[in-house]
A = this chain, B = another copy of it.
Amino acid sequence: MKINHVLKALSHPIRRAIIAYLRNGSMTAGALAEKFDVSKPTMSTHFAALKEAGLITAERDGVTIHYRLNATVAEEAIGMLMGLFGTQHMPSVQEQPPAPEETENEI
Protein backbone atom coordinates (compact mmCIF):
# COMPACT_ATOMS: atom_id res chain seq x y z
CA MET A 1 0.00 0.00 0.00
CA LYS A 2 1.50 3.32 -1.06
CA ILE A 3 0.22 6.03 1.23
CA ASN A 4 0.79 8.60 -1.47
CA HIS A 5 -1.55 6.82 -3.86
CA VAL A 6 -4.13 6.35 -1.16
CA LEU A 7 -4.13 10.01 -0.15
CA LYS A 8 -4.21 11.22 -3.74
CA ALA A 9 -7.08 8.87 -4.42
CA LEU A 10 -8.94 10.24 -1.41
CA SER A 11 -8.40 13.89 -2.29
CA HIS A 12 -11.25 14.09 -4.75
CA PRO A 13 -14.85 14.39 -3.55
CA ILE A 14 -16.23 12.03 -6.18
CA ARG A 15 -13.78 9.32 -5.19
CA ARG A 16 -14.68 9.72 -1.53
CA ALA A 17 -18.36 9.50 -2.46
CA ILE A 18 -17.66 6.30 -4.41
CA ILE A 19 -16.14 4.84 -1.27
CA ALA A 20 -19.14 5.92 0.74
CA TYR A 21 -21.43 4.08 -1.69
CA LEU A 22 -19.30 0.96 -1.55
CA ARG A 23 -19.54 0.86 2.23
CA ASN A 24 -23.05 -0.54 1.69
CA GLY A 25 -21.83 -3.34 -0.56
CA SER A 26 -20.37 -3.81 -4.02
CA MET A 27 -21.75 -1.93 -7.02
CA THR A 28 -21.23 -2.14 -10.76
CA ALA A 29 -19.29 0.55 -12.60
CA GLY A 30 -22.46 1.62 -14.39
CA ALA A 31 -24.57 1.83 -11.25
CA LEU A 32 -21.91 3.97 -9.59
CA ALA A 33 -21.45 6.11 -12.69
CA GLU A 34 -25.09 7.13 -12.85
CA LYS A 35 -24.96 8.48 -9.31
CA PHE A 36 -22.67 11.31 -10.41
CA ASP A 37 -22.98 14.12 -12.89
CA VAL A 38 -19.86 13.36 -14.90
CA SER A 39 -19.30 11.18 -17.94
CA LYS A 40 -18.72 7.44 -17.69
CA PRO A 41 -15.11 7.68 -18.93
CA THR A 42 -14.42 10.20 -16.20
CA MET A 43 -15.85 7.79 -13.67
CA SER A 44 -13.64 5.08 -15.13
CA THR A 45 -10.55 7.13 -14.37
CA HIS A 46 -11.81 7.68 -10.82
CA PHE A 47 -12.24 3.90 -10.44
CA ALA A 48 -8.74 3.42 -11.79
CA ALA A 49 -7.29 5.84 -9.22
CA LEU A 50 -9.04 4.03 -6.37
CA LYS A 51 -7.97 0.66 -7.73
CA GLU A 52 -4.37 1.83 -8.14
CA ALA A 53 -4.42 2.89 -4.50
CA GLY A 54 -5.79 -0.52 -3.56
CA LEU A 55 -8.87 1.03 -1.96
CA ILE A 56 -11.25 -0.91 -4.20
CA THR A 57 -11.10 -4.18 -6.07
CA ALA A 58 -12.75 -5.05 -9.36
CA GLU A 59 -14.39 -8.30 -10.32
CA ARG A 60 -15.80 -9.00 -13.72
CA ASP A 61 -19.13 -10.82 -14.01
CA GLY A 62 -19.86 -11.31 -17.68
CA VAL A 63 -19.95 -7.88 -19.22
CA THR A 64 -20.31 -5.88 -16.03
CA ILE A 65 -17.67 -5.06 -13.46
CA HIS A 66 -18.36 -5.03 -9.76
CA TYR A 67 -16.36 -2.76 -7.51
CA ARG A 68 -15.93 -3.50 -3.86
CA LEU A 69 -14.29 -1.65 -0.99
CA ASN A 70 -11.00 -3.08 0.27
CA ALA A 71 -11.33 -2.62 4.01
CA THR A 72 -7.80 -3.85 4.65
CA VAL A 73 -6.17 -1.01 2.76
CA ALA A 74 -8.57 1.49 4.27
CA GLU A 75 -7.52 0.42 7.76
CA GLU A 76 -3.85 0.40 6.86
CA ALA A 77 -4.20 3.96 5.59
CA ILE A 78 -5.85 5.10 8.79
CA GLY A 79 -3.16 3.35 10.78
CA MET A 80 -0.46 5.14 8.86
CA LEU A 81 -2.13 8.51 9.33
CA MET A 82 -2.50 7.88 13.04
CA GLY A 83 1.18 7.05 13.11
CA LEU A 84 1.96 10.23 11.21
CA PHE A 85 -0.03 12.41 13.56
CA GLY A 86 0.88 10.49 16.67
CA THR A 87 -2.79 10.18 17.54
CA GLN A 88 -3.20 8.89 21.08
CA HIS A 89 -6.92 8.34 21.54
CA MET A 90 -9.98 7.68 19.45
CA PRO A 91 -11.89 10.62 18.08
CA SER A 92 -15.66 10.20 18.01
CA VAL A 93 -16.82 9.25 14.56
CA GLN A 94 -20.55 9.22 15.28
CA GLU A 95 -21.23 12.73 16.46
CA GLN A 96 -19.95 15.96 14.97
CA PRO A 97 -17.08 17.29 17.10
CA PRO A 98 -17.55 20.86 18.37
CA ALA A 99 -16.10 23.62 16.21
CA PRO A 100 -12.64 24.56 17.46
CA GLU A 101 -12.51 28.12 18.78
CA GLU A 102 -10.40 30.60 16.90
CA THR A 103 -6.81 30.81 18.05
CA GLU A 104 -5.34 34.16 18.97
CA ASN A 105 -2.01 34.38 17.26
CA GLU A 106 -2.80 33.24 13.77
CA ILE A 107 -1.10 35.18 11.04
Contacts and interface: CB of A to CB of B under 8 A. Distances in A.
Q: How many copies does the complex hold?
A: 2
Given A57-B103, A65-B107, A106-B58, A71 B93 contact: no
Contacts of A16: 3, 84
A83 interface: yes
A101 to B, nearest CB: 10
Contact of A92 (B8, B79, B84, B93): B79
Interface in A4-52: 4, 7-8, 10-11, 13, 16, 19-20, 23
Ranked nearest first, the 9 interchain pairs of A and B with the lowest CB-CB distance are A79-B91, A74-B85, A7-B11, A75-B91, A83-B93, A8-B11, A59-B105, A58-B107, A82-B93
